[in-house]
């Protein structure tokens, strides 16, 4: 990782351990900025992909905005030195507490997903004697051609306001006393490898912007969400530059500030998960390598059938060797058949070997849990030859620190 050897990281932090390259994160951020330099734009990093405050801090210092989905994420952004005025608030179920905190802090925009939410925001803003800047998240009904669990822009998804209802909802929003209409928003899914669905969505959004202009509703920004895919193993996603070249002609003509909300593409390939082979269990039908990370640490393979690369790290190993290269399923120790990190990987393994699962910087640690009472992993950031712990490994005592025994009255 950058100029630090994996063996040094393992020696310093043990496994399982997430490691992130600061340079890799910044490279992507700069790539976005350079690719869209021709237009007024803001890159709002989608915090949910990796919400460690060190990661947020790097992006805040570089000038990024943020896309949040809860007041917890807003608190993280603020703790990391980010500015509320560069934050957009997405999500289908914002609560009164979420809205109050965001309004008090002065965020840039609420991406509103329903009339009910609009009513609530107006009410809370009135109580606080503030005006709430909003955009409507439009569901353009385009097929992002991605895994069904990460597709969000189809009409039977829970997200957004149907394209053909959006105009009426905007007209309703314009009548509300404490609402300022500032933009329009869409986000059609994640891990999109082609540009066509983005273009299809943008065309529908542009159509709406024109209809809104005819009704006298002028917007300041258009938010195209996140969703750009990355290469995990064999995917060939469009590059950020190709993505920009495809969108720029239409965006330039529009003349609005453009927001993007990239999550995965900013951090996925900046991170790896290091894990140790604990047990080798060849059977008649399958070979299982049981490692010290599991679905509680990295749920993407179990949840989305995601395939992530597994790279053996060459370290002096004293473990029990097996004969040569074989196909291994890399699994965790959790009591679930779905607990696998990779299947049928050709590897030559010994117990004690260290494996690096790549592409783990996004939706890795952020989705981890304590299932099977497993402490969550350590997180480390690398900068050149330097490395630092940015997330302490949980202890066994941490697991039940908030729990209490039932108190029987005496």
Ligand X SMILES: *Cc1c(COP(=O)(O)O)cnc(C)c1O
Binding residues for ligand X, rule: CB under 6 A, are: 46, 48-49, 67, 90, 187, 190, 225-227, 261-265
Quote the least distance from Cβ 263 to ligand X, whole Å.
3
Query: What does the DSSP assignment read for 239-306?
Result: PHHHHHHHHHHHHHHH-SEEEE--SHHHHGGGEEEEEEEEEEEE-SS-EEEEES--TTT--HHHHH--
The residue among 110 and 170 lying less far from ligand X, judged by its C-beta, is 110
Residue position matching structure tokens 């990093």: 45
Min. distance of Cβ 279 from ligand X in angstroms?
A: 34
How many Å apart are CA 104 and CA 94, to the nearest integer? 15
Cβ proximity to ligand X: between 185 and 353 the closer is 185
Q: Is 106 flagged in the annotation as binding?
A: no
- Exactly one of 44, 109, 186, 335 is catalytic; which is it? 335
Residue 394 annotated as part of some ligand binding site: no
Min. distance of Cβ 401 from ligand X in angstroms? 30
Distance, CA of 104 to CA of 301 (rounded, Å): 39
Rounded to an integer, what distance in angstroms lies between the CA atom of residue 269 and that of residue 50?
Answer: 12
Residue 140 or 332 with smaller CB distance to ligand X: 140
Q: Is 261 annotated as a binding residue?
A: yes
Tell me how far, at minimum, the Cβ of 188 lies from ligand X, in Å.
10
Tokens of 369: 């849990």
As beta bridge partners, residue 282 has 287
Nearer to ligand X by Cβ, of 226 and 301: the residue is: 226
Whether 335 is catalytic is yes
Look up residue 43 and give its two tokens: 């890159």
Question: Angle at the Cα of 263 (from 259 to 267), degrees rounded to 5?
Answer: 130
**Measuring CA to CA, which residue among 154, 145, 144, 163 is closest to residue 204?**
163
Smallest gap, in angstroms, from Cβ of residue 383 to ligand X?
23
- φ and ψ of 313, to 5 deg: -95, 130
Residue 262 labeled ligand binder: yes
The answer to the question of whether 374 is labelled as a binding residue is no
Instruction: Please name the helix (run of DSSP H) or strand (run of DSSP E) that holds residue 179, with its range, or none.
Output: strand 179-185
The residue (of 261 and 292) whose beta carbon lies closer to ligand X is 261
For the chain, the straight-line distance linking the first and the last C-alpha, in angstroms and rounded, comes to 58
Ligand-binding annotation for 13, yes or no, is no
Residues at the annotated binding site for substrate? 264, 300, 304, 336, 363
Residues at the annotated binding site? 227, 261-264, 300, 304, 336, 363
Residues at the annotated binding site for pyridoxal 5'-phosphate? 227, 261-264, 363
Report, as residue numbers or ranges, the catalytic residues.
335
């Amino acid at each position: 990782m950058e100029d630090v050897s994996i063996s040094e990281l393992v020696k310093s932090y043990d496994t399982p351990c997430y490691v992130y390259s600061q340079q890799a994160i910044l490279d992507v951020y700069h790539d976005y900025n350079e690719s869209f330099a021709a237009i007024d734009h803001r890159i709002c990093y989608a915090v949910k992909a990796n919400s460690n405050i060190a990661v947020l801090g790097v992006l805040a210092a570089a000038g990024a905005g943020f896309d949040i989905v809860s007041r917890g994420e807003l608190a993280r952004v603020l703790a990391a030195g980010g500015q509320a005025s560069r934050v957009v608030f997405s999500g289908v179920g914002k609560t009164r507490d979420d809205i109050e905190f965001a309004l008090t802090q002065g965020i840039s925009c609420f991406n509103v997903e329903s009339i009910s939410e609009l009513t609530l925001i107006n009410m809370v803003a009135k109580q606080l004697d503030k005006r709430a800047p909003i955009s409507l998240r439009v569901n353009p009904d385009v097929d992002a051609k991605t895994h069904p669990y990460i597709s969000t822009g189809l009409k039977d998804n829970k997200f957004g306001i149907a394209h053909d209802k959006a105009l009426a909802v905007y007209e309703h929003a314009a009548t509300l006393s404490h609402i300022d209409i500032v933009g329009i928003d869409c986000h059609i899914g994640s891990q999109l490898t082609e540009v066509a669905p983005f273009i299809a969505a943008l065309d529908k959004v542009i159509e709406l912007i024109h209809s809104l202009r005819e009704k006298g509703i002028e917007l300041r920004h258009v938010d195209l969400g996140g969703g750009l895919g990355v290469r995990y193993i064999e995917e060939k996603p469009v590059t950020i530059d190709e993505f920009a070249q495809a969108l720029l002609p239409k965006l330039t003509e529009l003349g609005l500030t453009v927001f993007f909300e990239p999550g995965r593409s900013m951090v996925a390939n900046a991170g790896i998960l290091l894990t140790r082979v604990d047990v080798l269990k060849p059977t008649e039908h399958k070979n299982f390598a049981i490692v010290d990370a599991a679905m509680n640490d990295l749920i993407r393979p179990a949840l989305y059938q995601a395939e992530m690369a597994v790279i053996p790290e060459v370290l002096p190993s004293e473990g029990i060797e097996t004969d040569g290269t074989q196909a291994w399923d890399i699994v965790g120790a959790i009591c679930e058949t779905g607990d696998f990190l990779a299947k049928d990987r050709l590897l030559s393994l010994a117990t004690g070997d260290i494996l690096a699962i790549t592409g783990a910087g996004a939706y890795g640690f952020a989705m981890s849990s304590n299932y099977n009472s497993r402490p969550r992993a350590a997180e480390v950031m690398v900068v050149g030859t330097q490395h630092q712990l940015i997330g302490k490994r949980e202890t066994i005592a941490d697991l039940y620190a908030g729990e209490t025994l039932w108190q029987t009255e005496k």
